[in-house]
Structure 1
Amino acid sequence: MKISVIGCGWLGEPLAVELIAHGHAVKGSTTSPSKIERLCSKNIQAYLGAFNPKFEGDASIFNAEVLVINIPPKARSLGQDFHLTQIQNLIDQLKVNKVDRKIIFVSSTSVYANNNGVVSEENADPNNFLVKAENMLFDFAKSNDSEITVVRFGGLMGYERNPCKYFDGKSGLTNGDTPVNYIHLDDAVAAICSIIEKGLWNKTYNICSPKHPSRSEILTGRCEKYGYVSPVFEIDSEKEDFKMVSVEKFLSDSHFVFKYADPLDFKYLSKGEVYF
C-alpha cells in the first residue's frame, strides 16, 4: 500500500519506519531540510513541505492510498484560526490531487473539557478548534469518495518525552491527585498501524493508556532514576479539575493490545539522552 505521512516529526518519523516494516511504500514530509537525508536513510521517500498556512512543497506527496495527517497545531504562538486555515489549504490540495484515498487525522484529547469524570468520543466540545478541523475533514471525505478516521491521542510520552522533565525540581504543586491521560509513542505508532491494517474507517477514536495513575504516582520516586529532581506536591483540599479519557470504543473495535497499558510502566530515557 502507498502511504504518505504528512509531518514526519516525533510521531510521524517512527510511524513511517513502522509502516515500511509492515511492507508499505511510504512517503514522508518534513519542514526541515536537514532531516531529508536521515529520512531517506530509513527508506522513507522524503519531501520538503509545510503549511505556512498555504502549502509550500511538492504536491505529489498527497498522491497516496492512505494519507496520515500529522500537523501539530501551534495554537499558542499562531492562534487557532491559523491551524484551521492550514486544514482548509490541505483540503484544497486534496481536491486538486483527486485520488481514492483513506485519511487518518491526528487530533488530541484536549477537545474534552474537564468534567471530573470519564469522557468518551461524543463528549467533545463542538467549539474546540480541533473538533472544527476534524469536521472539515469529515465533510470533505463524505463529498469526495474518501474515508477518514480521527485519532484523538492523549499526552504523547516516552523516551526523551519524560514527564519528569516538565516538573523538574518544581515546588508548591497542587495537582498531585490529578489522573493522567498518557499514551506511549510505541503504542501511538502501533495504534495507527492497526487502524490501517484492520480498515477501521469513518471512525473517531480516543487513544491513550487504559489506566490513569495520578500525577504524583507518575513522578514520585522516578525523577531521580532519570536524573531529575522530584517535584514537591502540596495537599490541596480543593482538587484541580480533571478528566479520564475512555478508550473503550477503540479497544472494542480493534482488540488492540497496549504495550504500555499503565503509564507507570512507560519506558523513558535518562536526562540528556535523545530518541533520534
Structure 2
Amino acid sequence: MLGIIGCGWMGLRVARALKEDYVVRATVTTAAKVDALSREGIEGTVVQFPENCMEAYDPAWEYAPLADCLLITVPFSSRTPEALLLNRFGNLLHFTGPFHKQVFLTSSIGIYPRIAAEIEEEGLNDALLDPSILSVERLVKRYYPQVNILRLGGLMGDDRILSKYKITGLAEPVNHVHYKDVCRVIKCMMHEGVTGATYNVVAPLHPSKEEVVGSQRGLPGPFEAVSAGRVISSEKLVRELNFVFSYPDPRFFHL
C-alpha cells in the first residue's frame, strides 16, 4: 500500500502512475477532492493539519501502519512563516505516527539561493538555504531518518506550461521538471528500496524562459542566448540511480 499525505496536483499524478502496482490511500483537504479521488479508484480521507497548535493529532491515520511507503506531498514554501510550517508538519507527523518503512518528502529547489551558479545537493553553507524549507526538511528527517527528500524543480506537464504565466527575466535559465519524470523517480526509488537520499529532481537541460515560451507558442526564433543564472543540477540523481529522463528538455514538455 502507498499512503499519500496531501494529495494535490502532484500527489494525484503519482497516485495515477502507481495505482496499478499499489493500493493507494490518500489524504485531501475537502470532500469534493475525496469524490474526485473516488472516481479514480482511490480512497481519500479529509484532513487539514492546523498551523496554530502542536499536539498529538487525534485520530491518527488508520492506513499508516498498513502502508509499505508514505509520500508526503503537502506543499510548503518560504511564503509561509516558519513557525506555522513547523506546527503544520508537526501535526502531520503526529497523524502519520511511527513509521519505519520508506518515506518520501517532496520539497523544492526554492531552498537554494538565487545565485548565478550550478547548484548541487551538497556544497552550500546551510546559512544560504531558505530557513523555512530547511526547517521542514530537518523536522521530517528527525522524525523519519529514512526519509527521501526530493527537491523538485518547477513542475510542468498537462495544464502547466510556462507560456500561461506572467514571467520576467526571459533570458534566465529554467529549472523545470515534467511531472511524469517525478513519478518515474519515485517508482524507481520504491523499487530499489532507496532510503535516506536527497536529490534534486530537475530536467538536465536548462534553456532560457524565452526559448521555452517561444517553443510553446510555435515562434521561429532565433532567441537570445541564455544569461548567467541559477542552474540546479540533477547529476547526483542520474549517477546514483542510473536514471534517464524521459523529458530532458523543457522546450518540449508541452508536446
Structure 1 residues 57 and 37, CA gap change in structure 2 (3 angstroms): farther
Mapped to 1, the partners of 2:2 and 2:86 lie a distance apart of 24
Amino acid at match of 1:69: I
Equivalent residue for 1:264?
A: 251
Aligned residue pairs total: 242
Deviation at 1:136, TM superposition (A): 1.2
1:190 aligned residue (171, 184, 190): 184
List gaps (5 residues or longer) in structure 1.
226-232, 269-276
Residue 87 (structure 2) pairs with residue 93 (structure 1): no
The answer for the alignment partner of 2:46 in structure 1 is 48
Question: Equivalent residue of 1:51, what SS?
Answer: coil
CA RMSD of aligned residues (A): 2.3
Partner Cα separation in structure 1 for residue 14 and residue 254 of structure 2:
18
3-state DSSP class of the match of 1:8? Answer: coil
Question: Following TM superposition, by how much is the alpha carbon of 1:108 offset from its aligned partner in structure 2, in angstroms?
Answer: 0.3
Preserved contact between residue 108 and residue 151 of structure 1 (Cα < 8 Å): yes
Q: 1:166 to 1:65 in 2, by over 3 A?
A: same
User: Residue 138 of structure 1: CA displacement?
Assistant: 1.4
- Superposed, which structure 2 residues align to 1:112-127 within 5 Å? 112-122=112-122, 123=124, 125-127=128-130
Residues 139-178 of structure 1 show CA distances to partners (whole Å, capped at 9, x for unaligned) of 2223xxxx210000000011211111113xx7xx5x1220
1:135 CA displacement: 1.1
Q: Aligned equivalents of 1:91 and 1:261: distance in 2?
A: 34
The answer to whether the Cα contact below 8 Å between 1:75 and 1:83 also exists between their aligned partners in 2 is no
Identity %: 26
Question: Which one of 118, 127, 133 corresponds to residue 130 of structure 1?
Answer: 133
Give distance in 1, aligned partners of 2:87 and 2:8: 21
- Indicate which of 25, 28, 42 corresponds to 1:27: 25
In 2, the alpha carbon distance for the partners of 1:129 and 1:57 equals 27
Letter of the 1:212 partner, please give it. Answer: H
The 2-side partners of 1:242 and 1:129 are apart by: 23
Provide the residue aligned with 1:166 in structure 2: 165
Give the whole-Å Cα distance in 2 for the aligned partners of 1:29 and 1:85. Answer: 18
For residues 26-72 of structure 1, what are the alpha-carbon distances to aligned partners after superposition, in whole Å with 9 as ceiling and x for unaligned?
10111121121221222212111121236587622433221100011
Q: Identify the match of residue 203 of structure 1 among 189, 197, 219.
A: 197
Q: 1 CA distance for matches of 2:45 and 2:160?
A: 26
Q: Hey, what does 1:228 align to over in structure 2?
A: none
| Alignment partner, residue 249 of structure 1 | 236
Partner SS for 2:147: strand
Return the letter of the residue paired with 2:94. D
| TM-score normalised to structure 2 length | 0.86
Residue pair 2:113, 2:129 contacting (<8 A) in 1 also: no
Would you say the 8 A contact 1:49–1:56 is kept in 2?
Answer: no
Structure-to-structure mapping, 1:144-163, within 5 angstroms = 147-163=146-162
Deviations 1:77-98 (A, max 9, x none): x43322221112222334xx33
Contact 2:162-2:213 at 8 Å conserved across structures: yes
C-alpha distance in structure 2 between counterparts of 1:73 and 1:98, whole Å: 22
Matched, 1:59 2:61: yes
Pairing 1:214–2:208 present = yes
Unaligned runs of 5+ in 2: none
2:14 is matched with 15
